[in-house]
Amino acid sequence: MHYDTNLRNHGLKFDPFKALAVPRPIGWIATVDRDGVPNLAPYSFFNAVSDRPPMVMFSSGGHKDSLRNIEATGEFTCSLATYDLREQMNMSSAPVAHGVDEFGLSGLTAAASVHVRPPRVAESPAAFECRHWKTLEMPAPADGKAEPFIVVFGLVVGIYINDDFIHDGLVDTPAMRPLARLGYMDYSVLTPETVFSLNRPMASEDGRSATLVPGPWDGVYR
């Protein structure tokens, strides 16, 4: 099948776009308002966009509390949403009234950050501390029935990692069992059984061919 995204003539029960742009990391974004009241919400349009310097982005459908707080304070954190915290992550997505503390609503503990005012999720095995860099408003929906998405870019100024997940100088990410967002109401989880490694191919001197060197990774990103 093929369909025109402007016409949305896919003929399916639901728009399949988010079922195909998968898997997507979940940005569990914590902010505080000017009065220090915390807010916590998961965003499925989230990812890293640079590692030199380390930067992340998330996209909000319209001006939600997370975006308003970041615009007011210039800071946020992003905690890793994991399988063990799936119920709490889901509860924190509830569209409750402004000023409601989703940490308390979800039964989570707010842990103090080092470099920014917003807290991280204490139960999460890892978190980024971020300072707002730039906001970009996306094109308005063609049908005019919804607010445009707004992309928030953040510079990562600090990273928390639970020491229990550091082995031989490497982060054991699969052991954390991070969640991934799929389409519809579906999620997936990264596990040790689903992770594999592939070395990068090496280009020849003339750049016209490539070979794959076997063996363990040498620690160089090529």
**What local confidence, expressed as pLDDT, does residue 9 receive?**
85
* Residue 7 domain flag: no
* Residue 6 domain flag: no
* Residue 218 domain flag: no
* Residue 118 domain flag: yes
| Alpha helices for the chain (secondary structure H) | 17-20, 65-73, 86-91, 102-106, 173-176
Give the CATH number for residue 58: 2.30.110.10
**What local confidence, expressed as pLDDT, does residue 142 receive?**
77
- The pTM (predicted TM-score) of the whole model is 0.93
- With a cut of 90, say whether residue 7 has pLDDT above it: no
Domain range for 114 is: 22-211
From the number of C-beta atoms within 10 Å of its C-beta (0-12, 13-18, 19+), residue 32 rates as buried
- With a cut of 80, say whether residue 21 has pLDDT above it: yes
Summarised one tens digit per residue, pLDDT across range 23-68 is: 999 999 999 999 999 999 999 999 999 999 999 999 999 889 999 9
* Residue 8 domain flag: no
Domain count, the chain: 1
User: Cβ of 161: how many Cβ atoms within 10 Å?
Assistant: 13
* Residue 4 domain flag: no
Provide the pLDDT confidence category of residue 180 given band limits of 50, 70 and 90: very high
* Residue 5 domain flag: no
Question: Which residues, at least 6 apart from 77, have a Cβ–Cβ distance to it below 8 Å?
Answer: 29, 30, 31, 113, 116, 118, 119, 120, 127, 128, 129, 130
Query: In terms of Cα–Cα distance, which of 68, 83, 85 is closest to 34?
Result: 68
- Chain-wide mean pLDDT for the chain? 94
Out of 18-32, 95-109, 137-151, pick the least confident: 137-151
CA gap 26, 42 in Å, rounded: 6
**What local confidence, expressed as pLDDT, does residue 144 receive?**
73
* Residue 99 domain flag: yes
